[in-house]
Chains A and B, each alone.
Chain A
Amino acid sequence: MSEPAPTGELKRTPLHALHLRLGGRMVPFAGYDMPVQYASGIIKEHLHTRAAAGLFDVSHMGQIALRPRSGRVVDAAQALEALLPGDILGVAAGRQRYAVLTNSAGGILDDLMVSNHGDHLMLVVNAARKAFDESHLRSHLSQSCVVEPLNDRALLALQGPLAEAVLAPFARDVQALRFMDAGVVTLMGATCFVSRSGYTGEDGFEISVPAEAAEPLWNALLRNPAVAPVGLGARDSLRLEAGLCLYGADLDETTTPVEAALEWTIGKARRPGGERAGGFPGAEVILGQLPPPYPPPHAGEGRVGITRLRVGLRPEGRAPVRAGAPVFRNEGDAAPVGVVTSGGFAVSLNLPVAMGYVPPDAAAPSTRVFTELRGRRLGLIVSKLPFVPARYKHR
């Protein structure tokens, strides 16, 4: 997800009218008129997702097919690897992987999902970045690939422990999907691309559905009493609890994957000594920041030459600390050494939580740093991410 960038006329997803009928409170988000919540409110929507199943409209996100001109998907994978440090050739047909596009300084241009559909790749990118990403992909990959934005498809996310039980009656084959499997599934006669993934830390599915079939599918899913519609407000509090990054807040063009604690997205094959080491924008910077391979690093340890690292932060007390709040090493320090990049309320824990960047030597769990809230210094305890354990279905 990405920060709002309201410009002129707001766009609408294929489910816009439905949101209005469901009492959605509409707000501008990344150029779209989107529901931040429905009548039940963010707290109930958040808890419902963790307890049963939440249904989200994420059609504002960009869906892009990357079709190799050769007809061989490995050529698309190889081409895409020139733009990101992920191991895309290693994504088997029917699998999906999280990745980050990088620039020549090693900064992150966007974070995205890449799935292998056998003869082409599918990308799901942030709403606020999709125009940029499309032109970026076109200008670098057009020789080998056709970059095809799928503007005629909606994207639904069904998230929560009951997601499988809800979706299975529509297509038994979804039960066989494990976390990060992806494939074509027919739902109510419509050809859908379903992945077992999401952005809440829960088991669940993301469903790419033809625009004209989106409303019937949404309504059919919602007929199950286990399902409630959930807006972007709870989507944000859920992803924060799950320790997942928001582009434009936790990640931007100045943040490297290593600083963002996303070095796990750098495939072994792309690292020094790997079969396809380097060969992506900013490789020198990014690979130079990687720790030696053994022993496995702990927070802040082993990374080389970075000045900041993304960590979880738990404010002392009950007051939420918001994005943009400064981070100080000591209670009396005048100069900040870091910043909060996402902050709010962990509804499942009934406590405030945040993520932000701190110097590597202050990044070990239990380190106490400080912020300033309404003119007073407040302790922040560096904490392991995620705040709420993920419940993905791995087998």
Chain B
Amino acid sequence: MLKFTKDHEWLRMDGDIATVGITAFAQEKLGDLVFVELPSVGATFAKGAVAATVESVKAAADVYAPVAGEVIAVNDKLAEQPGLVNGEPTGEGWLFKMKPADVAEVDALLDEKAYDALTAAESQ
């Protein structure tokens, strides 16, 4: 089950590991991505800290850590194929995996219904 932030990241828990990416709504807003800067494996982030940067032809956007934790893997494919984020934002276009410091932070994120309401309001 996907969880979401108001800044348009998604997070999916598998056991105690969280996979993180940007939402379909976010990639659509950004347009074609041409570069993704990912964190180093082993880096730790506070909730809301800048953990990655995605760049479209037009502009750069920060990606925030949805929860506090340590990065345990990054999606190396994106170095050659940043467009995967556009094509499959919640699949092959994932950005990094992290081990959340506090699972309660995950529970507190938006569910799909709340996120859809947020994007519907932003699209107005």
Contact = CB atoms under 8 A, between A and B. Distances in A.
A237 B35 CA distance: 15
Interface stretch (A119-127, A166-174, A317-325): A317-325
Contacts of A46: 57
Contacts of B34: 43, 318, 320, 345, 347, 352
B79 interface: yes
Sort chain B's interface into a size bin.
10 to 19
B57 A42 contact: yes
A116 B56 CA distance: 40
B91 interface: no
A21 interface: no
Contacts of A42: 31-32, 56-58
A4 B37 CA distance: 28
Nearest to A40: B32
Nearest to B82: A318
Contacts of A236: 58
A357 to B, nearest CB: 21
B57 A352 contact: no
A37 interface: yes
A347 B35 contact: no
A360 to B, nearest CB: 30
A126 to B, nearest CB: 19
Contacts of A37: 31
Of residues B32, B56, B59, B83, which shows the largest number of chain A Cβ atoms within 10 Å of its Cβ?
B32
A318 B57 contact: no
B37 A319 contact: yes
Given A318-B79, A374-B53, A344 B35 contact: no
Contact of A345 (B37, B57, B79): B57
A322 B60 contact: yes
Interface in A338-365: 344-345, 347, 352
A344 B57 contact: yes
Contacts of B58: 36, 42, 233, 236, 344
A345 B57 CA distance: 6
Interface string A238-277: 0000000000000000000000000000000000000000
A98 to B, nearest CB: 25
Contacts of B35: 318-320, 345, 352
A43 B79 contact: no
B83 to A, nearest CB: 8
Contacts of A233: 31, 57-58
A374 B32 contact: no
Interface in A27-57: 36-37, 41-44, 46
Nearest to B62: A374
Contacts of A344: 57-58
A353 to B, nearest CB: 11
Contact of A41 (B31, B37, B53, B55): B31
Interface in A297-327: 318-320, 322
A347 B79 CA distance: 16
Nearest to A36: B58
Interface string B23-45: 00000000110110100000000
A41 B60 contact: no
- Nearest 8 CB-CB pairs, A to B? A43-B32, A345-B34, A42-B57, A41-B32, A345-B57, A42-B32, A319-B35, A318-B35
